[in-house]
């Protein structure tokens, strides 16, 4: 089925020869392995919005590269003119996905690079943005591996691990977040049994997580979202790893729709529920989950996308939030690149950020 080997590619990169954002088109998986090389900001915006590139870390890396490419195309020698047009491009890119904090994080980080170099000629500012885009990419790889090492301390060989949606290699540059302990454990012979929720309505667990983990040679089983509690009750699941798109200061976590249901069932059956995310996903300016803006998606994703014929009445209303919020008291730990945070999360986050800034 695959003419190209998935393991030969990274999910997001800067193609220096083409001066393009290079991404795997995730909407074509698992049936076709297609790389896209995007240079136009409209095409990049649409790729993020339409989930051709998705996952908080991958979106952040994409944004860092995209805004560099936008700056590269600005033709002016005047800083004020440059910065006005840079800001316009930044705000445009930031409008593509409102919930994933890594998008605004990467854009604001690049904004800081521009401000720090404002006394320099425009070409030097652009080159500084280029270096920062590469740094964001490289840091993502190291960060995911560190999350994997920290997550691996929470499990044992032979465990049954459940994940929801896709927080794997396809959601980052390499390793992923929630799947990072799985990849490292696989390298070390842990023989995990992986269970992947199908993840309605966009099926990222079935199309993406199962694809990439099976490509890596792991033992992976897909199940419908409403089957996870049954698997827990039967003793198939020893621990749960999920990703995050935004984590509030109190530990409330926004992730793909359906995550909170997994956490509720895990609480009932006494199974540890871990969120894996980089510190860039922790938003200390968002006090609690109620303050997180939840993206509402098109109704056709529920009623039509995966069917030959429409599967709901034409005039029926559709509730289709892209994410839900898992309350902090349902989370056993939040695994970051600097360690595992436990409740009370605000204090734990502050300690992690102190460690990060040392």
Distance from C-alpha of 337 to C-alpha of 151, rounded to nearest angstrom: 9
* Residue 253 contacts residue 288 (beta carbons within 8 Å): no
318 phi and psi angles, rounded to 5 deg: -130, 130
- Give yes or no: 327 in active site: no
Catalytic-labelled residue, pool 13, 140, 225, 245: 245
Distance from C-alpha of 263 to C-alpha of 184, rounded to nearest angstrom: 24
- Hey, which residues does 334 pair with through a beta bridge? 275, 341
Q: What is the DSSP letter of 332?
A: S
108 phi and psi angles, rounded to 5 deg: -70, -35
> What is the dihedral angle through the alpha carbons of 253, 257, 263, 264, rounded to the nearest 10 degrees?
120
Q: Where are the alpha helices (DSSP H) in 153-293?
A: 180-187, 204, 210-215, 228-233, 259-269
Distance from C-alpha of 13 to C-alpha of 210, rounded to nearest angstrom: 23
> Any residues with CB less than 8 A from the CB of 225 and at least 6 apart, and which?
164, 197, 198, 199, 200, 258, 261
Tell me the catalytic residues.
245
């Amino acid at each position: 089925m695959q003419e190209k080997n998935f393991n030969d590619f990274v999910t997001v990169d800067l193609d220096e020869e083409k001066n393009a954002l290079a991404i795997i088109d995730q909407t074509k998986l698992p049936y076709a392995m297609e790389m896209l090389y995007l240079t136009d900001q409209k095409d990049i915006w649409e790729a993020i919005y339409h989930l051709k590139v998705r996952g908080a870390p991958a979106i952040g890396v994409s944004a860092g590269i995209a805004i560099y490419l936008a700056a590269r195309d600005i033709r002016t020698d005047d800083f004020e003119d440059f910065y006005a047009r840079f800001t316009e491009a930044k705000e445009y890119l930031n409008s593509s996905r409102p919930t994933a904090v890594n998008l605004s994080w990467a854009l604001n980080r690049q904004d800081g690079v521009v401000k720090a170099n404002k006394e320099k000629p425009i070409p030097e500012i652009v080159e500084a943005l280029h270096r920062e885009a590469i740094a964001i990419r490289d840091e993502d790889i190291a960060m995911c591996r560190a999350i994997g090492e920290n997550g691996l301390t929470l499990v044992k060989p032979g465990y049954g691990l459940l994940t929801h949606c896709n927080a794997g290699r396809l959601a980052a540059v390499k390793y992923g977040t929630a799947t990072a302990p799985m990849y490292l454990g696989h390298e070390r012979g842990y023989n995990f049994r992986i269970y992947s929720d199908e993840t309605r309505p966009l099926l990222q667990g079935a199309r993406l997580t199962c694809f990439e983990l099976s490509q890596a040679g792991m033992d992976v089983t897909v199940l419908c979202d409403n089957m996870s509690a049954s698997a827990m009750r039967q003793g198939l699941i020893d621990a749960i790893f999920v990703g995050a798109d935004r984590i509030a200061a109190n530990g409330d976590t926004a992730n793909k729709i359906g995550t909170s249901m997994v956490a509720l069932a895990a609480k009932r059956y006494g199974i540890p529920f871990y969120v894996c995310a980089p510190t860039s996903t922790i938003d200390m300016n968002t006090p609690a989950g109620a303050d997180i803006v939840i993206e509402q998606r098109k109704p056709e994703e529920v009623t039509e996308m995966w069917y030959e014929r429409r599967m709901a009445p034409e005039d029926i209303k559709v509730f289709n939030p892209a994410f839900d919020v898992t309350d902090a008291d349902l989370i056993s730990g939040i695994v970051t690149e600097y360690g595992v945070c436990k409740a009370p999360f605000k204090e734990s986050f502050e300690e992690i950020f102190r460690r990060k800034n040392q």
